[in-house]
A and B are shown apart, each in its own frame.
Chain A
Amino acid sequence: MAETIRVVVAKVGLDGHDRGAKIIARALRDAGMEVIYTGLHQTPEQVVETTLQEDADAIGVSILSGAHMTLLPKIMDLLREQEADDVLVFCGGTIPKGDIPKLEEAGVGAVFTPGTPTTRAVEYIQGSVPARQ
């Protein structure tokens, strides 16, 4: 039996839309994962610091402010700097289709747009985290 998956659910940037982040946090928790919810208005530095402190396996970033192309690559860079690039990063929010391949190229594992069932995110993490360890 593998160890419990630990996930940081993070609201980066300045937007206060936390419905999605809370829904995901609950769904992951209900699926048996340990969830650390950062609360709102986090900087990429704060998110990476929390991830290292909590020794998390994955970070779920919720962002609806349109700043994803700046803030997500920044998180990926910081993880690499900290040699923590085995941490799985996925994100959700209002993200135009055209940006998805660019985010994936930057190392984001999956992008979930509005309307995605939470089960898909749960299955994705359960499927991807063990493979990375």
Chain B
Amino acid sequence: MIVDFIKVSRFSDTKLKQFSINEASFSLNPQQHLAVLGKNEAGTSDLIKLLSGSIQPTSGKILRYDASSAHLGDASTFHRELTGEENIRFMCKLYGATAKHIIPEVASLTGLGKVLKKRVKSYAPPQRRKIALALPLFLDVKMYIIDDGFGGIGHPDAQFSERYSQLLKQKSQEKTLIIRSNNLPLLKSYTIAAVIVKDGGKVIFKDTLEKGLEESNDINN
């Protein structure tokens, strides 16, 4: 077990007492590849945040067993005035990884090389995104999170995308993977189980993606 939800509830609006998550109980195993489904945007987004640990539940308990996580494609911690390399070094320090080994790896995957020595503010958005996607793959974390809120794992550079998904396939085998996306091919190629967040915050766990998709389509009908 890596994360254990015990009757976890969370208000999306404290005053109106609206639940985004209502008494969710399920556990996440290591190396489980999980899809987060459902039209309830506040609910799915809060579920991801609760899983990664960036927010706390209003009631209930979340037990975490060394569940360090990284968002693929999240460039929000990048500082514009620092160079790409310095930003990578910061993330490495944050995750306790050695930047000396990781910078060349990121450079070779992204093909950015010398650009990494320039300040992030001079980057084109796809360049910044390449780093944000590539870097987490080399960090020593237990959980990868792919979120449409951060643009999934799409990238305009087709060659990079190809190399990237190959590496992700290989690296994610021994990690927990959580995907919140409406991109069906992506879900089908990675995820096995699914959780569905319904309106009102009810969370349902299904052990196959097909059952999950059925369940989530049921609400729409």
* A and B together in one complex: no
